[in-house]
Amino acid sequence: MKIVKNCLLTLLVLLIVLSPVILTLGTVLLTPKVYSDSYVGVLDEKYERLHSVEGEKIVVIGGSSVAFGLDSEYIENALGMPVVNFGLYGALGTVSMLELSLSGISEGDTVILAPELDRQMLSEFFSAREVLRAIDDDYSMLFDFSVDHKLSLLGGAYAHAAEKLGYAVTDTRPPISGIYSAESFNSYLDIASGLRRKNVMSLYYDPTTEVTLDKSIVDGEFIKTVNSYVSDCRERGAEVYFSFCPINRLALGENIDYAEIYEFSDYLDSMLDCEVLGDIGSYILDEAYFYDTNFHPNDFGVIVRCNRLIESLSEELELGYIELYDPPAPELPKYDYSYEGEDENSRYFTYSVENNGCLRITGLTDEGKQQSELTVPLGHEGRKVFSIGYGAFSGGSVTKLTVTEDTNLRNFLGGAFDGSRIEDLYIYYDYTDDENKLFPAPDFGGLTIHVPESCAFISGYDWSAGSTGGFDVVRIKK
């Protein structure tokens, strides 16, 4: 009898301990799928295509520069092999895509690793939050992850369940942000042509993500992970190559140091157990070939990038000469940065002139440092205020910053809030189209950001990486 009681007590304790886990997993699995129409909602289709294409194939793995940067049919026609676009989103991390892809690699396959050249993508970065959203349509993908990542996903399941339950209770879905939706992908699961015809960045590049090409951006553990993946692929009879993503030349700064860039390429070549394809310099493209980030080519840039990849692969696979033509760069759109009148809020700030003639806020005047609340001015002395630079509020007393609905502001640069006392950021400006994109700062952690109820950028593709930084969001009525 005592044994039975002990067993029952043990079972009761186990039920008490495990009930939150069971409830969480039940919520995740049984609540309706809510991410199918979102940008990350196509991961299950990419996964299925990877596993369903028969025969020898070319598999290109990376982040959004692969999703945006390939015309799979164009490459397929040039090389005579089916192409699988297995790139989606930097916030998933490169290691996620490596783990998910391995089970779909077969004998004779050619695997191209082409992550964005930044610290996050060249590291062991793994976001359980984003991965759980992306695999919501097919949880069988869980089995492809390492034990450590399975545990990380289990740890993130509670927040994911709460998010899904919130959508279910309110009968809503995650907001779609412009081109960043499942509908933007074609049958090859590339971003379809015709959707990104020109550069929509007001500076023609994104200054919040300037590109630095030196070995400091490469994590040593990432190198080990890639080399292990190369070994696993070779055991399956496949060959792996590393290729470069397209890079907006403006993002490299005014004076590009090509010697340093080629040292970076040589470093990768020396550390990786696979061959590095192509000339890194040929992937540094004119700004007119880009769309909305420093790694996302537009329709014209896609062809240039594909040509570079085709040239390298045709040589490596000994397929012979293939005649290719790069399309001319499209004309860059013109923007007017002049400002008439004088905004009364401008006297609280100091400025520098951007390379396009508009203004960057660099700091506070003595009067500005005494204010507890400030509003970002529209312009000053005939120029629009366009960005906020590093440490712009350092040494000030401001705790509340407001960005008005008619703002000309487009960029919070990295470190914009370093040294500040700002607690609340009110943004009445609403993201409405790709040509009025407001870039986030990478360091919003600790702030409470107040945005309009209809605002998409705070929860869409553009800000989702920043949302992992720990800032709170409050929806406000205009």
pLDDT digits (tens, 9 = 90+) for 36-57: 999 999 999 999 999 999 999 9
pLDDT > 90? residue 475 = no
187/411 Cα distance (integer angstroms):
34
Question: Which residues of the chain form CATH 3.40.50.1110?
Answer: 28-316
Over residues 295-316, the mean pLDDT reads: 96
CATH of 344-476, one of 1.25.40, 1.10.357, 3.80.10, 1.10.3470: 3.80.10
Over residues 270-274, the mean pLDDT reads: 97
pLDDT confidence band for 243 (50 / 70 / 90): very high
CATH 3.40.50.1110 is the classification of domain 28-316: yes
Q: Which of 101, 123, 118 is nearest to 57 (CA)?
A: 101
339/253 Cα distance (integer angstroms):
27
Q: CB 340: neighbour CB atoms within 10 A?
A: 7
pLDDT confidence band for 7 (50 / 70 / 90): low
DSSP for 127-140, please give it: -HHHHHHHTTT-GG
pLDDT > 60? residue 438 = no
Over residues 290-299, the mean pLDDT reads: 94
Cβ–Cβ under 8 Å, residues 361 and 409: no
Question: Can you give the pTM of this predicted structure?
Answer: 0.83
User: What is the helix (H) or strand (E) element at residue 7, kind and residue range?
Assistant: helix 2-30
Over residues 383-407, the mean pLDDT reads: 91
Cβ–Cβ under 8 Å, residues 359 and 385: yes
At 168 the pLDDT is 84
Over residues 251-278, the mean pLDDT reads: 94
Residues 76-86 pLDDT 10s: 999 999 999 99
97/324 Cα distance (integer angstroms):
30
Question: Which residues of the chain form CATH 3.80.10?
Answer: 344-476
pLDDT confidence band for 2 (50 / 70 / 90): low
pLDDT > 50? residue 464 = no
Cβ–Cβ under 8 Å, residues 304 and 289: yes
- 237: tokens are 């009879």
Instruction: Give φ, ψ of 378 to 5 degrees.
Output: -75, -35
Cβ–Cβ under 8 Å, residues 136 and 477: no
Across the chain, what does the average pLDDT equal? 87
Crossing angle, helix 147-170 and helix 94-102, to 10 degrees? 100
- 6: tokens are 């002990």
pLDDT confidence band for 167 (50 / 70 / 90): confident
408/412 Cα distance (integer angstroms):
12
At 259 the pLDDT is 94
Instruction: Give φ, ψ of 146 to 5 degrees.
Output: -65, 165
